[in-house]
Structure 1
Amino acid sequence: MTTSTPSTAKNRGVIRPTLGQARFAFVVLLIINILNYADRSILSAIAPKLQADLHLTNTDLGLLASSFLFIYAIATLPIGIWADRGIRKNIVALCVGLWSIATALGGLTHTFIHLFLTRSVLGIGEAGYAPASQSLIGDYFPKSQRARVLSYWSVGTLIGTALGLVCGGLIAEHFGWRWAFFVVGIPGLLTALLIWRSVEPSRGAFDNDEEGGKDIVAGHGGVGKDILTVIKRIAKIPTYWILLVAFIFSFFTIGSAQFWIPTYFVRAFNLTVGQAASISGGVLAGGSLIGTLLGGWLADLLQKRRPQGRLIVATFALIVGSPLTLLALSIHEMTPFIIVFILAIVCLSLCLGPLNAAIQDIIAPEMRSTAIGVVLLLAHLLGDAASPSIVGAIADRTSLGFALIITAPICLLIAGLICLAGLRTVARDMKAMQDQLNQQHA
């Protein structure tokens, strides 16, 4: 039961959830992540119907996707700072409730401006989830399991995207696009209650287990007292900024692909909205599921042998994914396109868990939410928040296929080359973080 008394370590007030409590909270966070991405992807599934009903251009469609992501990016950092100070599970619960209501209200809109505003509010709600949730997961499980657990959590991204695409497309085709918003918006209220009832673990409770058995009790107020000091500390970690640039370019590709691929199927292969959503959802989910689980397993396995293990997996995935993406978008027959595109998705998804775990490996526990918040702020603003509009504007002047083919492969290649540079710094930054923890809690 989630109400049982959390375990403590050495009577020092360290709250370490039991295995059952950690698993319960993780399942709830996974479900929330699924709903998170279902809410996000629903718009791309219904885009052709929405475009015809409201008489929108490709640029207009891109702006609707970008409205959510821009607000999401801007709100992520301040809420990430709040997560470093406050009770993270309560922050998650509040934000989940807010985005669920905003999604349902999207079904009541009748103009571009009204829908633009509801998608913007959706961004505020979802911004509070990722930093606090990743910080929670980092404290629910030992360091040796983080890449694997975060990869499992990332599976929610894939399942949610698939559900949003498939259900959204089928609902829009049979009942109208407004009902798609109603169906995906309501379940979030229940998960908000469940995460609110879970256990809040101490920050960094497991971080020293493998280095001598000392327990960490990280303060809740360090960031809020002097955010500039925290940013200065983060700025001195080279690998962090390398990972940030890799996130920006990979997010650009992910954002444009997730939004435009269903529409690309409709236009390139003459499919209905329901058919395009079902196929794209299955392709994205299937390839991503394989890649994400395999990436987490490989990263943890290689990390035991080399401190650069997680970043090696991410680098390989991005560099190989670039030419595969280029090849897929150059194919104009359905079956071979799907085969190559799945391989490209598998490669891209290999990096999800390792990159998230690598950030936690180099950042002290009391700064992790803020560090993740900075990454998400810049990666969304410069990456997936901008890409739907940019690709849409290019498509209005050329074609959607051309817009995708000149952006996605190049961005993936740049992200991979940036990660190559990180292989030289990550081991040193990991050691510096651990030495700092050992000095503070000797």
Structure 2
Amino acid sequence: MIPGARRLREYVLHAAGGPARARVVLTLAAVLGLEGADTGTISATTGNLERAFHVGNTDIGLLLSVVSLTGVLFTLPFGVLADRTRRTRLLSISITAWSVATLFSGAAPSYLWLLLARVALGMVTAAAGPVVASLTGDYFPAAERGRMYGLILGGEIAGTGLGFVISGDISTVLSWRYAMWWLVLPSLALAWLVHKLPEPARGGQGQITEGATRIPDESGTPAPSSPSRAGEHGTDRPHGIDRPHGADPAEEAVRHAHIQPQAALVLHSDPTRQSLWWAIRYVLRVRTNVIIIVASALGYFYFAGLRSFAIIYATRHYGLGKPVANLLLLVVGAGALAGVFLGGRISDRLLRRGHVNARILVPAICLLAIAPVLAPAIATTSVVLALPLLTFGAVLLGAPNPPLDAARLDIIPPQLWGRAEAVRSVLRTLGEAGAPTLFGYMSQYVFGGPAASGSAGGAVSSTGTASASGATGLGYT
């Protein structure tokens, strides 16, 4: 094995906690990476698509928004399936359908064809959120979910970077069609890898121990259970819901803080077969969960608009060529990647030390700091001054997501993870789906130019501050 490859393999195994965990982390990260690569591809080929179909920024933004809006209609049904069916099979089928939709996108002879292909793409990508969240909760123990979520969410950022760089270069050398088509074969390979993953036992009983070489499947012997929370901060275990053996740091921190459960939210029966509408009502009654969703949605809104027009913004605002702009975004993307890794690790460490609000405090601090960091970077036209600020801003933008996602798994019972994530995805998507179209419209019609610079400058302060306010409010629930 090449020395560099050996060191990379050792690093991945160490970061994930062994071969079995590394296999799951890399596979789930690649699933999220597909969606990121698709978004990065559209962003990197914006100029090509504008020339090919004679459209403007608003139409390009619609290509991105329609995927999210279509996903809203299908996320809730996929959430139900994630709670009741074999999740690895469901995800594998969805990825295969994704590759077919991508193939048709690249073959589009008109803007309408491309738009309809994007609608089909949105239908199948809706499965990723609920299924990945449910599998993450069952594969990894609560004490490490922030860190593991950070590694998995890093796949979306890495995928976006690959979409920007590889698709951008392919569109320059060949055409925008090949920039889309190159994703088809990797997605089919990923569908096969997901299909080969063992389905974990539900309720966290199939968790992979550190250093394990084998992934437990749903037929494995359940581990002894320990008391679990119910509702928002409950310490009573609902009937039929078992927890694996071992201390849950969130439970321990709540217990030491003498926080009592909310009686109205304590479940006394297995909610697996409850209706979708019952699950939606329950999830939205958990106040902490709702505030987490709002805070997360505001951050995703800005990120969705920013990444949609990043290439155009970098080339026109800083006067860079497309290859240099791709490298600039690669550096900024590395900052976001570092942010998701650090956010999960720091929050897990603080939680183990007894800080009950650790998975809330870390996101709140990061979101408060985003506006004063990114605003000067967007205002200046000097790339030398902007690059370090943009990179640090990307760190702050990426760090909140892993602890917030882990906190949701702490709050919601395992049998509702799929539907709870579906509810979160719908509300988040409704918030972020309009971002590309809104950014494109503002840049084209409000600020008098084709680039997204004006809208980005106006959005950073309000979004960062609002997100921080939402996250900070969690400390008082």
- TM-score norm. by structure 1 comes to 0.87
Query: What is the correspondence of 1:99-110 to structure 2 with a 5 Å cutoff?
Result: 99-110=98-109
Quote the Cα distance in structure 2 between the aligned partners of 1:73 and 1:322: 29
Q: Per the alignment, in what secondary structure is the counterpart of residue 406 of structure 1?
A: helix
Select between 201-210 and 226-235 the one with higher mean Cα deviation: 201-210
Query: What is the correspondence of 1:17-416 to structure 2 with a 5 Å cutoff?
Result: 21-206=20-205, 211=226, 215-216=242-243, 222-280=271-329, 282-304=330-352, 305-383=354-432, 385-397=433-445, 398=447, 399=449, 400-416=452-468
Name structure 1 gaps, 5 residues minimum.
1-17, 426-442
Indicate the residue corresponding to 1:421 in structure 2.
Answer: 473
Query: Between Structure 1 and Structure 2, which shows a larger proportion of helix residues?
Result: 1
| Number of aligned positions between the proteins | 405
Is the 2:25–2:151 contact (alpha carbons within 8 Å) kept by the matching residues of 1? no
State the one-letter code of the partner of 2:301: F
Output the aligned Cα RMSD.
2.3
Q: Per the alignment, in what secondary structure is the counterpart of residue 274 of structure 1?
A: helix
Q: Per the alignment, in what secondary structure is the counterpart of residue 105 of structure 1?
A: helix
Is the 2:30–2:156 contact (alpha carbons within 8 Å) kept by the matching residues of 1? no
Cα deviation, residue 330, structure 1: 0.8
Q: Per the alignment, in what secondary structure is the counterpart of residue 200 of structure 1?
A: coil
State the one-letter code of the partner of 1:229: W
Q: Per the alignment, in what secondary structure is the counterpart of residue 204 of structure 1?
A: helix
Cα deviation, residue 284, structure 1: 3.2
What are the superposed Cα offsets for residues 317-344 of structure 1, whole Å, 9 maximum, x if unpaired? 1110122121211111111111111111
State the one-letter code of the partner of 2:444: D
State the one-letter code of the partner of 1:288: A
Is the 1:40–1:164 contact (alpha carbons within 8 Å) kept by the matching residues of 2? yes
Is the 1:81–1:370 contact (alpha carbons within 8 Å) kept by the matching residues of 2? yes
Quote the Cα distance in structure 2 between the aligned partners of 1:244 and 1:403: 24
Is the 2:296–2:401 contact (alpha carbons within 8 Å) kept by the matching residues of 1? no
What are the superposed Cα offsets for residues 316-373 of structure 1, whole Å, 9 maximum, x if unpaired? 1111012212121111111111111111111111111111101111000011111111
State the one-letter code of the partner of 1:28: T
Quote the Cα distance in structure 2 between the aligned partners of 1:246 and 1:193: 35
State the one-letter code of the partner of 1:402: G
Quote the Cα distance in structure 2 between the aligned partners of 1:72 and 1:394: 24
Quote the Cα distance in structure 2 between the aligned partners of 1:103 and 1:65: 13
Name structure 2 gaps, 5 residues minimum.
1-16, 208-222, 229-240, 245-266
Quote the Cα distance in structure 1 between the aligned partners of 2:456 and 2:106: 29
- TM-score norm. by structure 2 comes to 0.81
State the one-letter code of the partner of 2:302: T
What are the superposed Cα offsets for residues 97-155 of structure 1, whole Å, 9 maximum, x if unpaired? 11122112211112111111111211112110121012101101111111110100011
Quote the Cα distance in structure 2 between the aligned partners of 1:36 and 1:394: 25
Cα deviation, residue 21, structure 1: 4.4
Quote the Cα distance in structure 1 between the aligned partners of 2:105 and 2:328: 25
What are the superposed Cα offsets for residues 15-64 of structure 1, whole Å, 9 maximum, x if unpaired? xxx97544423322222222331122210011012112211111111111
Quote the Cα distance in structure 2 between the aligned partners of 1:266 and 1:134: 36
Is the 2:226–2:242 contact (alpha carbons within 8 Å) kept by the matching residues of 1? no
